[in-house]
């Protein structure tokens, strides 16, 4: 947004509160996707929405300055484009790699498996699906790609 139309304090405050909630929801959707509505794609788009909201309200530069420079520049937020490209490249590698991993067990490419583990505190029995790794890849590809596009087009 251009400088002369500064967003109101209300919008800024709401955004500040809402964005972590959206992010949390997204992660919940990602993890529970195997058994309940959700999944990597939806979670990815939702996460992107959270970031896009930040960009719209605070502007690209503020986000980078406050969240990246002051916070030490770690993680996904370390600046538009470069870390985003890393995210989608890594996601693609993860999804592909999870498929290749199946081949190591002498089953066809992208075969998924499920493991039930007993004796986890609080949960008792817990199900681990290898599909989660694949879904995580989908998630990172979606987040990385969409944010790359937003950042690049936004900078224009």
Partner 1 sequence: MQPDAAVLVAALALPFVAVPFVPALFRVVGQRVAFFAAAVAAGSFGLLATQYGAHGAVQLPWIPSLGVSLTLYVDGLALLIGFLASGVGVLVFTYSYGYMAHEHGHVKYYATLLAFMGSMLGVAFAADLLALFVFWELTSVTSFLLIGHHQREDASQYAARKSMLITVAGGLFMLAGFLVLAFASGDTAAGRTFVLIGTENSLIANGEAVREALRAAGLFVPALALVAVGAITKSAQAPFHVWLPNAMEAPTPVSAFLHSATMVKAGVYLVGRFRPLFAPELPSVPEWTLLLATLGLVSMTITAILAVGATDIKELLAYSTASHLGLIIAGYGLAGPAAVELGAETGAFHIFNHAVFKATLFLVAGIIAHEAHTRKLEELGGLAGDLPIVAGITGIAALGMAGVPPFNGFWSKELLFETTYFVAVEHGGLYWLYPAIAVFGSVFTFLYSIRFLMLFFGDRPSGLADDIHRPPLAMLAPPALLAAIALATGIVPQLGIDAVVQSAFEASLPVAAEAHSLTLSIPKLFSFTPYLGMSLLTVGLGAVAYPFYGRLHAGVRWARAVDYTSPNWYYDGLTEGANGVSRRLAVGLHGGAFRTYVAPLLLGTAVLALAGYAAAGSISVDGVGAVPPVPLIVVLGVAVVGAGAVARAPSHIAGVLTLSVLGFMVAIVFILANAPDLALTQLVIETLVLVLFLLVLDRLPAYYGEIRSRARGIADAALASLVGFTVFATVLVATSASPEEPIFQYFLARAGVPAEHGPFFSDFGGGSNVVNVILVDFRAFDTLGEIAVVAMAALSVLTLVGMRAQTETEMAERPESDSADDPAATPATDGGRGPASASADDPAPSDGTDGSGGVDR
Q: Does 36 bind partner 1 (CB under 8 A)?
A: yes
Q: Say how far apart CA 87 and CA 140 lie, in whole Å.
A: 6
Query: β-pairing, 124-129 with 114-120?
Result: antiparallel
Written as six digits, the tokens of 125 are 């029995």
Residue 23 makes contact with partner 1 by CB under 8 A: no
CA atoms within 13 A on the CB side of 85: 4
- Using CB under 8 A as the binding rule, whether residue 28 contacts partner 1 is answered as no
Residues in 56-75 at the binding interface with partner 1, rule: CB under 8 A: 56
- Would you count residue 80 as binding partner 1 (CB under 8 A)? no
Q: Where does this chain touch partner 1 (CB under 8 A) — which range of 11-19, 64-72, 94-102?
A: 94-102
Binding mask 115-134 for partner 1 (x = CB under 8 A): xxxx--------x-x-x--x
Closer of 71 and 123 to partner 1 (Cβ): 123
Compute the least distance from the CB of residue 72 to partner 1, in Å: 26
Does residue 33 interact with partner 1 by CB under 8 A? yes
Q: Which residues of 3-22 are buried (b: 16+ CB within 10 A; e: fewer)?
A: eeeeeeeeeeeebeeebeeb
Residues of this chain that bind partner 1 (CB under 8 A): 1-2, 5, 29, 33-42, 45-46, 48-49, 52-53, 55-56, 81, 84-85, 88-89, 91-92, 95-96, 99, 107, 109-118, 127, 129, 131, 134-135, 137-138, 141-142, 144-146, 148-150, 152-154, 156
């Amino acid at each position: 947004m251009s400088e002369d139309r500064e967003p109101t304090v209300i919008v800024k405050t709401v955004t500040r509160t809402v964005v972590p909630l959206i992010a949390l929801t997204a992660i919940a959707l990602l993890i529970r996707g195997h058994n309940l509505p959700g999944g990597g794609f939806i979670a990815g788009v939702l996460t992107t929405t959270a970031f896009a909201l930040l960009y719209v309200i605070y502007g690209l530069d503020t986000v980078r300055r406050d969240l990246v420079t002051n916070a030490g520049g770690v993680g996904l937020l370390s600046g538009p484009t470069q870390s985003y490209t890393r995210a989608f490249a890594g996601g693609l590698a993860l999804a592909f790699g999870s498929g290749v991993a199946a081949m190591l067990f002498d089953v066809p490419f992208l075969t998924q498996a499920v493991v039930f583990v007993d004796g986890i505190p609080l949960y008792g029995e817990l199900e681990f699906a290898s599909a989660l790794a694949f879904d995580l890849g989908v998630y990172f590809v979606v987040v990385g790609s969409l944010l790359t596009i937003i950042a690049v087009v936004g900078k224009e």
